[in-house]
Amino acid sequence: MSNIKAITAKEFRSYFDSPVAYIYITFFLVLSSWLFLRGFFLIGQASMRGFFGLLPWLLLFFVPAVTMRLWAEEKKLGTIELLMTLPIRDHEAVIGKFLASFLFLTLTLVLSVSIPLMIALVGDPDPGPIIGGYIGAVLLGAAYLSIGLFVSSLTENQIIAFIIGVVATFALFIVGEEFVVYSAPHALVPVLKFIGMGAHFDSIGRGVVDSRDVIYYLSVIGFFLYLNVRSLESRSWK
């Protein structure tokens, strides 16, 4: 546990050792706020449905940008060899990096709280969908992080890690959408709807936190973190 805490603290601090983290956070908050508010005053409803409708698509690019360096940079600089010689188990390194990126993502989402506060000042929004939307965003973002972290372990090129991360998360997000399942064989429709991360996010975003949706996201996170550990182990055998 102490190793995980040490790696988490080190990786989280590393985000703010350069201006990149501040640029990421500022760009995300400004873009998400602008895209939401430009339609909010036209609709005239005290609701954050538009914000949470945009959020998964913004996270598709934001999260791979956060994770692309976590293993790729270590491999490029050769520091991964040093890390693997320390008395740290592979799963401790993976969990530590995941928790650091999760804290960074959570901080970014928390900073967007100015939006629901502003809506509360001009209207009377239903708190259920807002709370559910943020819970869904955290779970969806964590699933994206686990995928991006695994992809980063496969290459030493950060740009490649970013591109593959975007493609992988995009594929898993839309695979359960209506326009995809409509053209799929009837027998595969329930499977595609279950696999698709977007459908589970929409379910939580309605304000009803179903344990099946939570278990789904935790399963995705656990699966890709396991693949990440296996990726490091295969490197050790090589």
pLDDT tens-digit readout, 59-113: 999 999 999 988 888 777 767 666 666 677 888 889 999 999 999 999 999 999 8
- Give the chain's domain count: 1
pLDDT of residue 106: 95
* Residue 210: domain span: 2-237
Report the alpha-carbon distance of residue 134 to residue 110 in Å, rounded.
Answer: 9
- pTM for this prediction: 0.90
List C-alpha distances in Å: 163 to 11, 25, 159, 168, 208. Answer: 22, 20, 6, 9, 33
pLDDT of residue 238: 47
Who's near 144: CB < 8 A, 6+ residues apart? 59, 60, 63, 64, 165, 169
pLDDT of residue 139: 95
User: Average of pLDDT values for 199-210?
Assistant: 82
pLDDT at residue 136 is higher than 70:
yes
pLDDT of residue 235: 62
Q: How confident is the model at residue 45 (pLDDT cuts 50, 70, 90)?
A: low
